[in-house]
Homo-oligomer: A and B are copies of this chain.
Amino acid sequence: MSEARQKAAAAKKASRILAQATDAQRRQAIRAAAKRIEDSSAEVLEANAKDVANGRASHMADPLMDRLLLTDERLKALVASMFEIADQPDPLGKVLDGRTLAAGVRMEKISVPLGVVAIIYEARPNVTADAFSLCLRSGNSCVLKGGSAAKSSCQAIVRLCRAGLEDAGLPRDCVTYIDSTDHAETAELMRATGLVDVLIPRGSARLIKATVEQATVPTIETGTGNCHIYLHTSADSHMATDIVVNAKTQRPGVCNAAESLLVDTAAAQRLLPPVASALVDRGVELVGDDDARRICKENGMPMGEATEEDWGKEYLDLKMSVKCVSGVQEAIAHINRYGTGHSEAIVCTDYAASEAFLAGVDAAAVYVNASTRFTDGGVFGLGGEIGISTQKLHARGPMGADALTTTKYVLRGDGQVRK
């Protein structure tokens, strides 16, 4: 049997016991794991130093190195986040609906765990602790497969989480980690029907696409964000500048950063020069359509030509495409065509434009007069996130512990049969 199936089967078995654990036990296990990590921080940092050294030796890119690196401070934040998740209200056992059927059978619809959640992610050690905590909070076992570059760090964290589970009297296999870095194991995990109840890929667009293509287990697409900021004719130019600069440059490598700017042609002479100049000052490369290029050129800012490919591109870098549109309807149509359904924003003072945009744009999060950078489980009050769903099935937008539950109909009768 492959390691993936073996680890998934062990997690499945443990999930049956975990599903019966009390709220207090599940909280206790997360706290015990956090305590173990806190007490063994030297061990975790040492494991991480090994990964970092390997990363350096293999010339890993800086942003990836930054995501891989654990510091004392980052580890403290990781532990604090685990305690926070433990403190969240129980997502299980909620009675979501209920009635008495015509035959007199009493029905309730109750929130229950999914069972086994598999997560494939990149070289980010902190995802290990987050995923474990959110899964356990919602009564789920998890099977983790982290990026090979973070193997030592992830293994150290998983070892301590497993010890924490044991401290709380729960099976260690409530979290399992696939040690093999063989791609065949990833494929096995994607096809472990009956063992994996949901698979969440977290990482590059390529990983997510491969998962959607190959997986036979239910999957939640996450993360790809081709986000737009649309400046309506009525927009205030200072607010427009602040929001576009924040959405593009505050952290360009993340999925809720903006990638494309739409401007009403009628107000482009007023709005585009100050916004473009602020972006260029911060080192952003702009590419645009003919109207945008002409206006920027007249204002002394030459701009490259945007190709069809640019409209659909998630740069994750200091680059942005710019397009002039005829109004809110064209902006909506463009976003619905090229967007990835993540986060989209309008800047305006006109009420009708704001309402049309909110209703017409088909995305997980739609903003009026605020930066797309707010789309985040922590910011949304979900106490962390296991990913940001860009699909419509099951969960959309940031997914907290609630998104890791399903429902069960419970029916109590006195011998009723169907006529």
A contact set with B: CB distance below 8 Å: 16, 19-20, 99, 101-103, 105, 107, 114-115, 193, 197-198, 212-213, 216, 218-220, 236, 239, 242-243, 245-247, 250, 336, 354, 358-360, 362-371, 373-375, 379-381, 391-394, 396-397, 406-418
CB contacts (< 8 Å) of A213 on chain B: these are: 216
Residues B409 and A380 in contact, CB atoms below 8 Å apart: yes
Residues B392 and A114 in contact, CB atoms below 8 Å apart: yes
Q: Which of B101, B107, B245, B407 contacts A396 (CB 8 A)?
A: B407
Known contacts A107-B380, A392-B197; is-contact A415 B242 (Cβ 8 Å): yes
Known contacts A213-B216, A392-B115; is-contact A415 B369 (Cβ 8 Å): yes
Q: Kindly list 17 other residue pairs between chains A and B, CB separation below 8 angstroms, not including A115-B362, A193-B212, A393-B406.
A: A16-B336, A20-B360, A101-B374, A101-B381, A105-B367, A197-B392, A239-B415, A242-B417, A354-B412, A362-B408, A366-B409, A368-B411, A370-B412, A373-B417, A374-B411, A374-B416, A396-B406
Residues B411 and A370 in contact, CB atoms below 8 Å apart: yes
CB contacts (< 8 Å) of A358 on chain B: these are: 410
Min CB distance A346 to B, Å, is: 10
Known contacts A102-B379, A396-B407; is-contact A243 B16 (Cβ 8 Å): no
Known contacts A415-B239, A417-B243; is-contact A394 B394 (Cβ 8 Å): yes
Residues B418 and A373 in contact, CB atoms below 8 Å apart: yes
Q: Which of B16, B354, B364, B413 contacts A367 (CB 8 A)?
A: B413
Chain B residue nearest in CB terms to A414: B369
Q: Which of B193, B218, B246, B408 contacts A393 (CB 8 A)?
A: B218
Known contacts A213-B216, A392-B218; is-contact A365 B417 (Cβ 8 Å): no
Residues B99 and A381 in contact, CB atoms below 8 Å apart: yes
Min CB distance A246 to B, Å, is: 4
A-B contact pairs, 9 of them (CB 8 A): A19-B362, A101-B380, A197-B392, A198-B393, A246-B417, A247-B417, A365-B408, A374-B418, A397-B409
